[in-house]
Chain A
């Protein structure tokens, strides 16, 4: 017989067999191998025996693995069955637990949707990794000659194009006229650089000739009937005719720039002039290799020297190159082509999603651990009957994974229910951004399994560590190790909830204030037609016709309206310094149409012929100039060289901009004669028969302005649109507030269940000794209420700082009043009380015999 070290199995083999052989067979299979091995040892060299043994073991692996996999599935089935039975037995617990996780999942999924969409910007371009935008360090717009020069000078540049944002808006084909915005121009390289597939037409020819255009599909549909191919048709844009070279798919939502159609750059005079001294183009280049960036970037100053400074290198001008896919989140220059996102937001939201999941996990852990007290006997029996600790752990993990999967399903249902509201919130219908459905499903399943494992691990190890003897005796496993952590978590959740409660109150109070404040004009019942190609004669004719309708109260042609942007000019009143004034151009009926009030003097009046040369100030302007009696004084511009007119009246201040800004000094001039623009027709109408009135207005418009689109809005809607961001903020805060409160309640519910279950005996003894129900509820609740009060104390300064910052966006705002804080705190306390109280009352009502009979 050979020595022990050689005639036994090698350690590696033992380890391997431990892993792969189903435990019931392990000993015997190992024994068989030893027997075979020793047989071989007796016949030949130890080395050959070794080789033989290993061959045997390796060839056995498939059979063992097959067997083990079978058993794992069988065990899984058994765990799942047990888990389902447990879940059904404790319905309330299951519902609360699953809904808490589901809310967390739903929240994270929505946030993930948003984040993925933000990150996906411009990734749909196949050559995105080689496309760069060339800009000034602070400004997107570069010279028209830049793109062609780059392409000609650098062999590393495969293609380059500049986009110009064109001012033309009116597009006409046969009898169909619409305003389109934005309309851009580009050179034919655009189709080499970007992935804009054509539905009809050929990219190799598109936009090569002057006076050609490529439409987007959604634009083409407006002008051409189904079945008509727009290619090679002529369409009128502004005053020129263009040949349609193709129709392309709409620019995807996740592109940092967009357009309705592209006109070829070489249609315009400037394209042929090699302009280097003015900038209005967004320039994009496609490099042959991404590694050429640094070379090109280092050569750009020389380009500036050569073309802008005629060879003089003493300048500090430079271009920067932005990778296409980073523009949306990282570029915030002047004249961006669209509104870009913010990388900071992406980080904040991702963190919020992660936090949401973690909180949901911990709440889940608390609830499960709490409920374990109920199952402690079951565990004891299982262990006494020979269940191994590992089996118990597996069983609990199985349960939590099952819960987690169910929660994921519920969460998905929630997501689909919230999706329409979510689209409103983010302002667009964002999709999965090209990620395949299977990836998403696999990701979600992995996430729920991971969460199940994480959330289930603590209860699993905690519960399985109970010693059967002690458990059966009724002793609870001690250890207050993690109670500080648990309480901290509840405090944290309440801080978040209270801040959000205060935030919701304040945002909605401010929105209410903004909407109901007297603006100094009446924005209701006014229809506005945007008149981009005005003509004074036709405007007057339209006014006369409109006034014939019984329901039209008054009509005004004006260059400006409250809520829209307006120009400024430095104006000087006789005897004062020049001040920058907002200038409004209007006509006789402006006062009546907007229902403004005069503070002194008179508005432009038909009975005074000289009024057309007059000027009207608002009260703030009079204050700014600091003049006692402005009426009759002369107003001048251009350092007094040009007389604007005499001041004929003072209008009461009105909020011609949103309440974000204080009222600024304003001058109103009679604009019609000076040709200052009459871009808006505002029509005040009565409350009767709105549809009929609008129809009448439309007919009159079309008879007076044939060929111009009837593009109308309502003044109140336009004005309220100034608060879109605040309304979005309000909705976001409200949604998150509700979610936070729900999650918070679940957290507290879990913790209170946990604590109360531990104190069942104490309660029993107290009752026996004579404590009243009120006493017991108080004893059980006071700890939690203390935590909520602490959370409130922490939340108040936080909310105050954040909200004061937010309110500073508004020049006119509500105060941060004490009662808002009070009410929010009280509400939080009430919610906490309801959650804990319910449990405490139940515990207090329980018969002490139940809890003490084992003693």
Chain B
């Protein structure tokens, strides 16, 4: 299987971290805080959709909520396949980063 892209990886990690409360707004907030970069709702849904298609995440629909104008939340969770994919990139990362050192300052 193809490796996860950097975005997919970050999203999966964010979902993992947020546990039962992973939906559009929270995922975005978490990503923005962790990376210090701007993430648009549209960009998040694009990647989430890709993860759904690859069956790396599971989807659960919540109840309609008044504070969302009567609209429901779609909660995401990492599937087993998602875990494996994360583990795979994680292993590769640690192997590749093992010999990384700051350049010596003179």
Instruction: Using CB atoms and an 8 Å cutoff, list the residues of chain A in contact with chain B.
Output: 7-9, 21-22, 24-25, 27-36, 38, 56, 59-67
Return chain A residues, CB-CB under 8 Å to B24: 28-29, 31-32
Q: Evaluate whether A63 and B67 lie within 8 angstroms (CB atoms) in the complex, with A28-B72, A32-B24 already known.
A: no
Which of B10-18, B42-50, B97-105 forms contacts with chain A?
Answer: B42-50
Q: 8 extra interchain contacts, Cβ-Cβ under 8 A, other than A35-B67, A59-B40, A60-B45?
A: A21-B42, A25-B45, A25-B49, A27-B72, A28-B23, A32-B28, A34-B68, A56-B41
Please count how many residues in chain B sit with their CB below 8 Å of the partner chain's CB atoms.
Answer: 22
- Of residues 29 through 55 on chain B, the ones whose CB sits less than 8 Å from some CB of chain A are 38, 40-46, 48-49
Query: Does B69 lie within 8 Å of A63, measured CB to CB?
Result: no
Q: B residues near A, CB below 8 A? A: 23-25, 28, 38, 40-46, 48-49, 65, 67-69, 71-74
A708–B74 Cα gap in the complex (Å)?
97
- Which of A29, A62, A65 has the most CB atoms of chain B within a 10 A radius of its CB? A29
User: With A35-B25, A63-B46, A67-B49 given, is the CB distance from A30 to B71 under 8 Å?
Assistant: yes
Measured between alpha carbons, how far is A730 from B24 in the docked complex, in Å?
A: 74
Smallest CB gap from A60: residue in B? B42
Q: How far apart are A18's CB and chain B's nearest CB, in angstroms? A: 14
Instruction: Tell me the nearest residue of chain A to B48, going by C-beta.
Output: A25
How long is the Cα–Cα vector from A32 to B22 in the complex, in angstroms? 12
* Partner pick for B46 among A8, A9, A59, A67, CB 8 A cutoff: A67
List A contacts of B71 (CB < 8 A): 27-28, 30-31, 34
Within the complex, the shortest CB–CB distance from A367 to chain B, in Å, comes to 38
Cross-interface CB contact of A63 among B44, B65, B68, B74, cutoff 8 Å: B44
Picked from B25, B43, B68, the residue with its CB within 8 Å of the CB of A62 is B43
Task: Name the one of A7, A36, A38, A64 contacting B45, with C-beta atoms under 8 angstroms.
Answer: A64
- Closest B residue to A36 by beta carbon equals B25
Contact between chains at B73 and A31 (CB < 8 Å): yes
Residues of A within 8 A of B72 (CB): 27-28, 31
B68 touches A59 (CB 8 A): no
Contacts of B73 in A (CB 8 A): 28, 31
* Chain B: minimal CB distance from A102 (Å): 39
Residue of A nearest to B43 (CB): A63
Q: Which residues of A contact B25 (CB under 8 A)?
A: 32, 35-36
B69–A59 touching, CB < 8 Å: no
- Taking the closest CB of chain A, its distance from the CB of B5, in whole angstroms, is 13
Q: Are A9 and B69 in contact (CB under 8 A)?
A: yes
Contact B67 A60 (CB under 8 A): no
> Complex Cα distance A33/B73, Å?
11
A60→B39 CA distance, assembly (Å): 9
4 interchain residue pairs of minimum CB distance: A63-B42, A60-B42, A31-B71, A63-B43
CA distance A29 to B68 in the complex (A): 10
| A31: min CB distance to chain B, Å | 3
Could you say which residues of chain B place their CB within 8 Å of the CB of A59?
Answer: 38, 40, 42
**CB distance B69 to A34 under 8 Å?**
yes
Q: How far is the CA of A8 from the CA of B70 in the complex (A)?
A: 10
Indicate if the CB atoms of A56 and B40 lie closer than 8 Å: yes
Nearest to B69 among chain A residues (CB) is A34
**Cα–Cα, bound, A25→B73 (Å):** 10
Q: How many residue pairs bridge A and B at CB < 8 Å?
A: 82
Give Cα A32 to B71, complex, Å.
9
Residues in B whose Cβ lies below 8 Å from that of A27: 71-72
In the complex, A60→B44 CA distance in Å? Answer: 9
B49 A22 Cβ-Cβ under 8 A: yes
Chain A residue with Cβ nearest B61: A28
A60 touches B68 (CB 8 A): no
Measured between beta carbons, the chain B residues less than 8 angstroms from A34 are: 67-69, 71
- Tell me the bound Cα distance from A32 to B73 in angstroms: 8
Residues of A within 8 A of B40 (CB): 56, 59-60, 62-63
Provide the bound-state CA to CA distance between A29 and B44, in Å.
10
Q: Which residues of A contact B68 (CB under 8 A)?
A: 31-32, 34-35
Least CB separation from A30: chain B residue: B71
Which residue of B has the minimal Cβ distance to A55?
B40
Q: Which of A8, A25, A28, A62 has the most CB atoms of chain B within a 10 A radius of its CB?
A: A28
Measured between beta carbons, the chain A residues less than 8 angstroms from B23 are 28, 32
A65 to B38, CA, bound (A): 18
B26 to chain A, nearest CB (A): 10
Known: A9-B69, A34-B71. A29 touches B49 (CB 8 A): no
Chain A residues with Cβ under 8 A from B41's Cβ?
29, 32-33, 36, 56, 60, 63
B55 to chain A, nearest CB (A): 15
Of B28, B40, B72, B73, most buried by chain A (CB within 10 Å of CB) is B40
Shortest CB distance B58–A (Å)? 15
Report the Cα distance A347→B81, complex, angstroms. Answer: 67
* Assembled-state Cα–Cα distance A27/B71 (Å): 7
Q: Please indicate which of the listed interface residues A22, A32, A38, A65 has the most CB atoms of chain B within 10 Å of its own CB.
A: A32
CB closest residue in chain A, given B52: A24
B48 surroundings in chain A (CB, below 8 A): 25
Known: A62-B43, A63-B43, A64-B46. A31 touches B69 (CB 8 A): yes
Which of A7, A35, A56, A61 counts the most chain B CB atoms within 10 A?
A: A35
- Complex: chain A residue closest to B41, CB-CB: A60
**Contacting residues, chain B, for A29 (C-beta < 8 A):** 24, 41-42, 45
- Residue in B43, B45, B69 whose CB lies within 8 Å of A21: B45
Minimal beta-carbon separation of A29 from chain B (angstroms):
6
Query: When chains A and B are docked, how far (Å) is the Cα of A66 from the Cα of B49?
Result: 11
Q: Smallest Cβ distance from A156 to chain B, in angstroms?
A: 61
CA distance A32 to B27 in the complex (A): 11
Give the distance in Å from the alpha carbon of A60 to the alpha carbon of B45 in the complex. 9
Complex contacts, B67 vs chain A, CB 8 Å: 34-35, 38
Q: Is the CB of A64 within 8 A of B69?
A: no
Q: Which of B23, B28, B46, B67 has the most CB of A within 10 A?
A: B46
Specify which chain B residues have a CB less than 8 angstroms from the CB of A65 in the assembled complex: 42
Q: Using Cβ atoms and an 8 Å threshold, which residues of chain B touch A8?
A: 69
Chain A residues with CB below 8 A from B44, complex form:
63
A60: which B residues are within 8 A, CB to CB? 40-43, 45
User: With A and B bound together, what is the CA distance between A65 and B73 in angstroms?
Assistant: 21
Expressed in whole angstroms, the Cα–Cα distance for A9 and B49 within the complex equals 23
